[in-house]
Amino acid sequence: SEAGPPRVKVPCISWVPVLGSLPWLRGGRPLHLIFTQLSYSYGPLFALYLGPHLTVVVNNHQHAREVLLLRGKDFAGRPRMVTTDLLTRGGKDIAFSDYCPLWKSHRRLVQNSFTLFGEGTSRLQDMVLAAVDSLCEELLSMEGRGFDPAPAVTRAVTNVVCMLVFSATYRHGDSELQEVLRYNDGIVQTIAGGGLVDIYPWMKVFPNKTLSKLKACIAVRDRLLTHKLEEHKATLTDNQPRDLLDALLMGQVGRGRRKGSGRVEEDIITEDHVLMTAAEAFGAGVETTSTTLLWILAYLLHHPQVQERVQKELDDHVGSERPVRVSDRARLTYLDCVINEGMRIRPVSPVLIPHTAMTDSSIGGHHISRGTRVLVNMWSIHHDSAHWDKPDLFNPDRFRDHQGQRVTPSCFLPFGAGPRVCVGESLARLELFLFLSSLLQRMSFRLPNGASPPDLQGRMGVVLQPVPYKVVTGGDRWRQMVTDGDRWW
Ligand code: HEM
């Protein structure tokens, strides 16, 4: 008979009917920390039941590479969940759609649209730099006073996504921008509190305040995005796409035309898919990027000597007479290490997005049945002392070798890997680079007098985020540059 996958079972932690292993996961700590703790007693690969769902947790990088890369296709499925179904019209997006031919061509279309429109062209750089300019101006206007940088950073990153998706440039206080910020925040807060209904979908039949709020935010989001979509459809030409919506619409039309050549209806990227993709650029692109920036800033406040080294590198390679550009990236290696170290020590998506096994398969020689959920605990991989020296220490130099050359350890995967790797990785890296370099070129950050440094424990919302903290900016580094045209806000 055919040799099937191995039958060794993954060790499973205790569970009871209905509740599954939930009673063993209490204590109010975030799941990634509970899982890391459990891996000390059960080993790096263990199973548990989240309610009725058999879930395997992967805690070391060899197993993670099997799941994401080596047998990436076997594990490229996504579980259906009540909140994400609402958010994505039943999986018409990229992140929460199950693996299928339509998802594959949708993902390809989005990747091509990103390439066509943004990556590798100077348009994306110009957009980010315009948002950075306004952010710097706003932060410098607070000079000398302690303030929470989170709202301004989130606004700047949101502005980049608005520009990228539907070419909107907003001024400070613009009511449409406020609306985007409000519904996005509402979605983030409610998804973070969604909880039990995703484990027990039948609970959705009961009145649920969180779900009602989520539905209300989604309705506002969809109204605004539908309006943008209709505007784009009415003004679409054969010329270069103006933005991501244009690129998606053009790609969708291209595919639609092939309908006559035997493609079935379910194989077609619909307008709903285009809308959900636009929505996802906000959902997946704002909170992740702005939170990563806030973590790095928090660590710079703890390690002023790291901030000084980045600024010295900027002085040596860019100076203060011109803005930083993407082409400077190759020379600013220490800044690159700081960004990587920030994403290693505080991965904003510490257990990635849940995967499911599409077929019977294996991890580390253990049998995994089709339908099993798989959580990759990137937190424990990024803090594994077998691979990282003093993993709890913020040490950007670990991303350089003795000759000062960049190194990327194979157990560093902040964007995941394989068929489900983050679609926005290049965009996110571009933003992180341009935001941090421009900010540190123009100003320094320090703690307000008498304030203690930011809490580095963080708290778990939709992403792992720092507890709010205050900074003081000093703009002595920046010789006022002449900028053309109007400011955005
Ligand atoms: C998926 C990280 C920014 C769009 C993911 C995943 C991670 C991640 C860990 C899950 C991979 C998995 O489940 O295996 C990050 C980080 C970011 C960032 C750390 C910023 C620092 C962005 C941006 C966008 C984006 C800017 C788009 C505008 C997506 C999408 C997926 C995804 C669509 C789903 C991919 C799929 O399921 O096929 N990201 N991301 N992300 N990300 Fe990002």
User: For residue 332, which of 414, 423, 436 has the smallest C-alpha distance?
Assistant: 436
Q: What is the pLDDT of residue 474?
A: 87
Per-residue pLDDT tens for 287-326? 999 999 999 999 999 999 999 999 999 999 999 889 999 9
Q: Residue type at 251?
A: G
Task: Give the torsion sign (CA, 80, 83, 86, 87).
Answer: negative
Q: Assess whether the C-beta atom of 293 lies below 6 angstroms from ligand 1.
A: no
Q: Would you say the CB of residue 285 lies under 6 angstroms from ligand 1?
A: yes
Provide the pLDDT for residue 470: 96
Distance 421 CA to ligand 1 centre (A): 7
In tens, the pLDDT along 132-188 reads 999 999 999 988 899 999 999 999 999 999 999 999 988 878 899 899 989 888 888
Q: Which pLDDT value is given to residue 25?
A: 84
Residue-averaged pLDDT of the chain:
88
Q: Which atom of ligand 1 is nearest to the CA of 281?
A: 28
61 touches ligand 1 (CB under 6 Å): no
pLDDT class of 225 with cuts at 50, 70, 90: very high
Q: If you measure from the C-alpha of residue 118 to the centroid of ligand 1, how many angstroms do you get, rounded to a whole number?
A: 17
Query: pLDDT tens digit string along 35-88?
Result: 999 999 999 999 999 888 999 999 999 999 999 999 999 999 999 988 888 889
Residue 487 has pLDDT above 50, yes or no: no
Nearest by Cα to 54 from 64, 46, 62: 46
Query: Who wins on pLDDT, 154 or 119?
Result: 154
Residue 337 and residue 319: Cα distance in Å, rounded? Answer: 20
Q: In the numeric block, which tokens belong to residue 144?
A: 């000398």
Residues 161, 283 contacting (CB under 8 angstroms): no
Q: Can you tell me the distance from the alpha carbon of 95 to that of 36, in angstroms, rounded to the nearest whole number?
A: 25
Residues 6+ apart with CB under 8 A from 253: none
Share of the chain above pLDDT 90, in %: 65
Reading the block at residue 39, the tokens are 């891996």
Pocket test for ligand 1, best of 296, 422, 427, 465 (most atoms within 8 A of CB): 422
For residue 383, the model assigns a pLDDT of: 98
**In angstroms, how far is CA 44 from the centroid of its own chain?**
25
284 ligand 1 Cβ < 6 A: yes
Least confident of 9-18, 19-28, 225-234, 424-433: 19-28
Ligand 1 centroid to 228 CA: how many Å?
24
Enter the tokens of residue 26. 């209490």
pLDDT of amino acid 489: 27
User: What is the rounded radius of gyration, in angstroms, for the C-alpha atoms of the chain?
Assistant: 23
**Helix (H, G, I), strand (E, B), or coil: what is residue 465?**
strand
* CA–CA separation, 268 and 103 (whole Å): 10
SS3 208: coil
CA distance 356 to 354: 7
pLDDT number for residue 1: 38
Closest residue by Cα to residue 253 from 388, 399, 109, 100: 109
Per-residue model confidence as pLDDT tens digits over 267-291: 688 999 999 999 999 989 999 999 9
CA of 108 to the centre of ligand 1 (A): 15
Assign 194 a pLDDT band (cuts: 50, 70, 90).
low
> Residue with the nearest Cα to atom 37 of ligand 1?
95
Would you say the CB of residue 95 lies under 6 angstroms from ligand 1? yes
Instruction: Quickly state the pLDDT bin for 4 (edges 50, 70, 90).
Output: low
Q: What is the pLDDT of residue 112?
A: 86
Which residue type, as a one-letter code, is found at position 60?
N
In the structure, what pLDDT confidence band is assigned to residue 239 with cuts at 50, 70 and 90?
A: confident
| Burial of 22 from C-beta contacts in 10 A (0-12 / 13-18 / 19+) | middle
> Do the beta carbons of residue 76 and residue 99 sit within 8 Å?
yes
162 is annotated as contributing to ligand binding: no
- Rounded distance from Cα 360 to ligand 1 centre (Å): 26
Residue nearest to atom 21 of ligand 1 (CA): 289
* Interior angle at CA 42, CA 36 and CA 380, nearest 5: 20
Give residue 29's pLDDT: 84
Instruction: Please give the average per-residue pLDDT across 363-369, as a whole number.
Output: 95
Task: Indicate the pLDDT class of residue 207, thresholds 50, 70 and 90.
Answer: low
Question: What distance in Å separates the CA atoms of residue 313 and residue 300, rounded to the nearest whole number?
Answer: 15
Q: What is the ipTM of this complex?
A: 0.99
CA separation (Å) from 96 to 77, 326, 439?
A: 9, 31, 34
Under 8 Å between Cβ of 22 and 382: no
Cα 108 from Cα 98, distance rounded (Å): 15
Instruction: Say yes or no to pLDDT of 472 above 70.
Output: yes
In eight-state DSSP terms, residue 25 is G
Binned at pLDDT 50, 70 and 90, residue 266 comes out as low
Q: What pLDDT score does 482 carry?
A: 37
Question: Closest Cα partner for 275 from 214, 220, 218, 226?
Answer: 226
Sequence-distant (≥ 6) Cβ neighbours of residue 124 within 8 angstroms: 117, 118, 164, 427, 430
Task: Tell me the pLDDT tens digit for each residue of 369-392.
Answer: 999 999 999 999 999 999 999 999
Give the separation between CA 6 and CA 424, rounded to whole angstroms: 36
The tokens for 361 are: 């398969």
pLDDT of residue 265: 52
CA distances from 346 to 292, 434, 463 (A): 8, 20, 10
Q: What letter represents residue 160's amino acid? A: V
- State if pTM tops 0.95: no
Residues in Cβ contact with 209 at an 8 Å cutoff, skipping those fewer than 6 apart: none
Percent residues over pLDDT 70 in the chain? 88
